[in-house]
Amino acid sequence: MRDLLIPTLVLFPMAAAGAALVLRGRAWRSAIVGLVALVLVGSAALLASNGLLRYSPGPLTRFDWNRLVVLADGVLLVWFLALAWTRRHLGALALALAQAAGYVVLEVRFGERLRVQSNFAVDWLAIAMVLLVSVLGSAIALYALEYMDEHERHHGVSPSRQPRFFALILLFLGAMNGLVLSNNLAWTYLFWEITTLCCVLLIGHDGTPEAVASSNRALWMNLVGGCAFLAAMLMLASAQPVGEPMSVSELVRGPTPYLAPVALLCLAGFTKAAQMPFQGWLLGAMVAPTPVSALLHSSTMVKAGVYLVIRLAPAMQDTGLSNVVALVGAFTFVATAMLAISQRNAKRVLAYSTISNLGLIIACAGLNTAMAVSAAVMLLLFHAVSKALLFLAAGAIEQRLGTREIERMESLVLRMPFTTMLTVLGVLTMLLPPFGVLVSKWAALESAAREPVAMVLFVMGSAFTVVFWVRWVGRLVAVEPGQEPELKESIPPLFLWPMVGIAFVAVALSLLVTQVMLRFVAPVVASYMELGSQGFQATVSDLESRVGSFPILGLTLSLLIALALALLLASSRRRQAVPYLCGEPPMEGPTLAARAGGDEPAPIRVSGTYLDRYFSEDRHSLWMTAAASLLLVAMLGVASL
């Protein structure tokens, strides 16, 4: 039975992708997506139920899968060449040619070294990723069934492009599971490139000039990562190391003398995780339909990049490379959190927040202590769930309002109360106790206690994060004077249940945060990292480390009491706020207005402040990109010493 779990998680959604492409009816598509969701969630649960499993299956049959992998890689590289050629993108074409040439050299000269005894291996880190991909991916795919119908009606798409869209979504889910379960770097590379292809095609799904431009940017930036990945394999194969050079388990068994390939693999992870200076492709990807943003660019695909860096952490332990990786992540955490403050577009706020949190995960992996790795794994879990909820809620709001602008979401609590509640809940899970993201950030701060630079950057990034989240919640719950609630909100079931399900998971995981840390995170750290203790002690009510403690129960109760008192005070002094108009009273009428020239009414609008003078992209993007590029050069330089 166990032998069938991995092929089911990898090959079944890929086969279903072909079926979705051929069976083009709405009923067939819904049945295929529903069946894939059921199979993936069940298979992931069975995989997790094996506990601390050291299971490495060999070839599935007598068929030579390695030759099939080579063939599939060849098809992918030709596809990338064709994309770059048809789009007349010289940079992408040069990168695709370099990648194709490198792969030919790798296969011709070192073909035998690409084989390993066990092509797949399962540990707790892989299980955590499989659960994220299978559960969140399934929920988002179900949500997309309703979303894409409305999306195509709104854009007047005919004939429907949904068969291709859902085929790519399902192909992506299978490739992600293959990526995290693979123990052969050559196989990981194949799945890595499949996710890149799905990403590029899904970003350009709508076919608008903006979508095509964003797709091209994603193509060349991810091809940079592909070239780095391939270069790392060439270096490992040519270095003639002891054992199996392409085995991930061999590479990460402990500190390795082959730091240059590890640095190149980290660079590949940075491109996939949209770390600075590669953040542009993820920001541009927000033009894609919301399910694409939620699945590929928040909860799943970008996590592949940080997963690779966490996986490589033992290989660079106690080295200068590890320190520079931590600095790259910490800089991205601060810089993108700061840039998010000036954003008025909800999906760009979510995108910057995603990049920022991924930077924090990478910084923790670079710190490379038991506490830091625990924080990285916790953030990997909790951030994916919370951000998936926020993206789905943002998509529901966009379809109702026809906009992504935060300012247009004012008084949304009266127009879409249930969706607003879910959105606010999603933000709270990113900010407050007892939710897991805050607990994870506490663990990150504790792990940086003896690293002054990291500590300062972590504190600054966390402070910036509070600013943009609180402002967004403020616009959602702000009510214009005289505005009355609208009729009961109507939410389609395929919108409602994925959001409610993910919200339930976010709350449940946070209420059980100490158990998640002890029973799930601790095995990852203890068995995978082999660092001994995870770095903290947990009880029902609080967490303790060697540096400090986090009283979860006490902070949560204090927060609830403060909130109750604030609501009680507000209800006892309820009165309509009147803006100061230089001493002039507002004009009478159904809407709040000031007296303009000729006594004409000028409507009064209250808006948020975005501090463009201090935090705008125009002011900071150039120097931040240059600084991040220098850090990458330093990383490669340190690894080559």
Which of 299, 443, 295, 464 is CA-nearest to residue 372? 443
Structure-model confidence comparison of residues 344 and 362, the more confident one: 362
Confidence of residue 176 (pLDDT cuts 50, 70, 90): very high
CB atoms within 10 A of CB 72: 15
Closest to 549 measured CA to CA, from 452, 458, 446, 449:
446
Q: Is pLDDT at 482 greater than 80 in this prediction?
A: no
- Tell me the β-bridge partners of 122: 55
Count CB atoms within 10 A of the CB of residue 504: 12
CA-based nearest residue to 440, from 389, 384, 499: 384
CA proximity to 292, closest of 193, 406, 175, 195: 195
Could you give phi then psi for residue 409, rounded to 5 degrees?
-90, 5
pLDDT band for position 562 (50/70/90)?
confident
Alpha helices by DSSP H, listed for 276-411, are 280-284, 290-294, 301-312, 320-340, 346-367, 370-401
- Paired strand residues for 544: 537, 549
Looking at residue 222, what is its pLDDT?
92
Which runs of E-coded beta strand occur in 516-611? Answer: 536-538, 543-545, 549-550, 593-595, 601-603
Average pLDDT over residues 262-266: 93
Tally Cβ neighbours within 10 Å of residue 352: 28
pLDDT of residue 205: 86
- Check whether 254 has a pLDDT greater than 70: no
pLDDT of 68 over the 90 cut: no
- pLDDT reported for residue 548: 73
How much is the pLDDT for 550? 77
First to last CA, the chain: 47
Most confident of 327-336, 407-416, 519-528, 557-566: 327-336
- How far, CA to CA in Å, does 301 sit from each of 192, 194, 411? 10, 11, 33
Tokens linked to 52: 């601390």
DSSP secondary structure letters along 143-170: HHHHHHHHHHHHHT-SS--HHHHHHHHH
**What is the tens place of the pLDDT at every residue in 568-614?**
776 665 555 566 666 566 666 656 676 666 666 766 666 777 888 88
| Residue in the structure block whose two tokens are 């800089």 | 331
Least confident of 51-60, 307-316, 452-461, 525-534: 51-60
Residue range 339-358: mean pLDDT, rounded = 90
pLDDT for position 120: 84
Asked if the model's pLDDT at residue 275 lies above 90, the reply is yes
Strands (E), 363-430: none
Which pLDDT band holds residue 546 (cuts at 50, 70, 90)?
confident
pLDDT tens track for 291-318: 888 887 666 788 889 999 998 888 888 8
Q: How far apart are CA 350 and CA 334, in angstroms?
A: 15
What SS3 class is residue 248? Answer: helix
pLDDT of 527: 66
557 pLDDT exceeds 90?
no
SS3 state at 541: coil
| Helix/strand/coil percentages in the chain, nearest 5 | 75, 5, 25
Give the predicted TM-score (pTM) of the model: 0.91
CA distance 257 to 272: 25
Residues facing 628 on adjacent strands: none
Please check the confidence at residue 76 and state whether its pLDDT lies above 70: yes
pLDDT band at 107 (very low <50, low <70, confident <90, very high): confident
Higher-pLDDT residue of 2 and 5 is 5
**DSSP annotation of 120:** B
What is the predicted pLDDT for the residue at 51? Answer: 59
Q: Each residue of 406-418: b (16+ CB within 10 Å) or e?
A: bebbbbbbbbbeb
* Spatial distance between the Cα atoms of 303 and 134, rounded to a whole number of angstroms: 13
pLDDT at 270 over 80: yes
Given a cut of 70, is residue 528 above it in pLDDT? no
User: Among the residues of 478-589, which ranges form H helices?
Assistant: 493-511, 513-516, 522-523, 552-572
Give pLDDT tens digits for 435-457. 888 888 888 888 888 888 889 99
3 state DSSP class of 479:
coil
pLDDT, position 577: 59
Is residue 630 predicted with pLDDT exceeding 90? yes
Question: Rounded mean pLDDT of the chain?
Answer: 84
The pLDDT of residue 533:
53
Residue 431: per-residue pLDDT: 86
Say what the pLDDT of residue 576 is.
Answer: 57
Confidence at residue 583, expressed as pLDDT on a 0 to 100 scale: 57
Report residue 269's pLDDT band, with 50, 70 and 90 as the boundaries. very high
| 72: nearest Cα among 182, 181, 217, 192 | 192
In the chain, where the domains are located: 317-568
pLDDT of residue 484: 62
Each residue's pLDDT tens digit, 375-400: 898 899 899 888 888 888 888 888 88
∠ CA(303), CA(308), CA(310), 5° rounding? 90
Instruction: Select the more confidently predicted residue: 24 or 633.
Output: 633
Distance CA 16, CA 28 (A): 11
Q: What is the pLDDT of residue 512?
A: 82
For 103-117, 239-253, 501-515, 549-563, which range has the lowest pLDDT when averaged over its residues? 239-253
What is the length of the chain?
Answer: 641
Is residue 243 scored above 70 in pLDDT?
no
